[in-house]
Amino acid sequence: MEIRKRLAFPVAEYRERLRRVRSAMADRQLDGLLVHTPENICYLTGYQTTGYYMFQMLVVPPSGDLTLVTRLIERTNVDGFAWLDDAVAYADTDDPLAVAASVVADLDLARGRLGVERSGWFLSLDHYRQLRTLLANAELVDGSGVVEQERAVKSPAEIARIREAAALADLGVQAAVEASAPGRTEQSVAARVHRVMIERGSEYAGLPLFIASGHRTLLTHATWSDKRLDPGDNVILELAGVVARYAAPIFRTLSIGPPSEKLARSSAIAVRMLEAVIDAVRPGVTAHDVDAAAKQAATREGMARAVKKRAGYSVGLNFPPDWGEGNFLEVREGDRTLLRPGMVFHLPQTCRAEGYPPAAASETVLVTETGHEVLTRFRRELLVV
């Protein structure tokens, strides 16, 4: 028996990504880039594992082969997912930082100007300090954002994956609608959603399924519980379809039986905010402008106080602890980033006004050459079940 390699994209796609990243490295006058973020490693190589809680590092020289440093037990994932032929694997009895430093030295980069992803979540302060000691003759500078700036605009092949994920997200909402009824538990609804999405091809998402009903909708990012759905409950549902590690999230609000007047109003406001935000999405506008559209819509409804967060964030490659790319591209007040064709955003709008049942609606939206395209397609209004 042998491992069968399954690349998410053709090798030419990865080589083009690498070419662009190396161009960005040259712009920053970097002799090499040390990559630790799981999404960035996957973006450049296809390599993936859930074992990124252990040290891993991709060394990107200005030319030639990439070198992945990973745990020995994870070495098989190179054969399964990456376009690389090999990796440097360390045993659990080895010092992974010493192994990584030796790789840098073998590539004649130990005296170079090396970019390090200092803003990422997966290089601990202790590991960074060890690298500085072990690479004392190198100049370690901040290499954060070098890969991310290329990830922000998706290729046609990436957009195709997100379309597939969006279709799965729609199926997840349909499953929740079919599973929701008085007396059933949030757990049973979550079970149905997971089963349908997984059976149809969805991978695990970078965040869990969020589902809450009634009083539990006052909790932010609440996952399922044993609470039963009661007549008149509002139900907030947020999930993401994932294909080849590319995510497409969606937010919807359900009502168990006829909605109260206040729930109908808060849901309608969330939908109007969403529609205003979507209408604002087009090339050349700023993230700030799109965020402002949500605030203006809420203000027109007399619900400015209900806006408590950013209007959205970039989505694409995802590993836990997030399904979004908001760590480098957000739709928020003050962000003057210009939207470009090929960017993809999740635009969650929530109405959380005192005295009103919380409600939410969202879409995954692609920026096109002339405007936008909504990729998630499930009906947007309050879903009465």
Whether residue 186 contacts residue 227, with contact meaning beta carbons closer than 8 Å, is answered with: yes
Whether residue 273 contacts residue 282, with contact meaning beta carbons closer than 8 Å, is answered with: no
Whether residue 150 contacts residue 20, with contact meaning beta carbons closer than 8 Å, is answered with: yes
pLDDT value at residue 92: 97
d(C-alpha 330, C-alpha 347), whole Å: 10
pLDDT value at residue 303: 82
Sort strands 349-351 and 359-361 into parallel, antiparallel or unpaired. Answer: antiparallel
pLDDT value at residue 308: 80
What is the residue whose two structure tokens read 């409950």? 233
pLDDT value at residue 134: 98
pLDDT value at residue 120: 86
Delineate the domains of the chain, giving CATH numbers in brackets. 11-151 (3.40.350.10), 156-384 (3.90.230.10)
pLDDT value at residue 118: 92
pLDDT value at residue 379: 97
- The residue ranges of DSSP E strands in the chain, in sequence order, are 32-35, 57-60, 67-71, 88-90, 113-116, 139-142, 210-213, 234-243, 246-255, 312-314, 330-331, 344-346, 349-351, 359-361, 364-367, 372-374, 383-384
pLDDT value at residue 305: 82
Whether residue 269 contacts residue 361, with contact meaning beta carbons closer than 8 Å, is answered with: no
The pair of structure tokens assigned to 367 is 């920026």
Question: How many CA atoms lie within 13 Å of 56's alpha carbon, on the beta-carbon side?
Answer: 25
Query: What are the Cα distances from residue 40, in Å, to 46, 78, 130?
Result: 9, 15, 22
- Phi-psi category of 272—alpha, beta or left, where left has phi over 0 and alpha has psi -120 to 50? alpha
pLDDT per residue as tens, the chain (385 positions) = 899 999 999 999 999 999 999 999 999 999 999 999 999 999 999 999 999 999 999 999 999 999 999 999 999 999 999 999 999 999 999 999 999 999 999 999 999 999 999 998 999 999 999 999 999 999 999 999 999 999 999 999 999 999 999 999 999 999 999 999 999 999 999 999 999 999 999 999 999 999 999 999 999 999 999 999 999 999 999 999 999 999 999 999 999 999 999 999 999 999 999 999 999 999 999 999 999 999 999 999 888 887 889 999 999 999 999 999 999 999 999 999 999 999 999 999 999 988 999 999 999 999 999 999 999 999 999 999 9
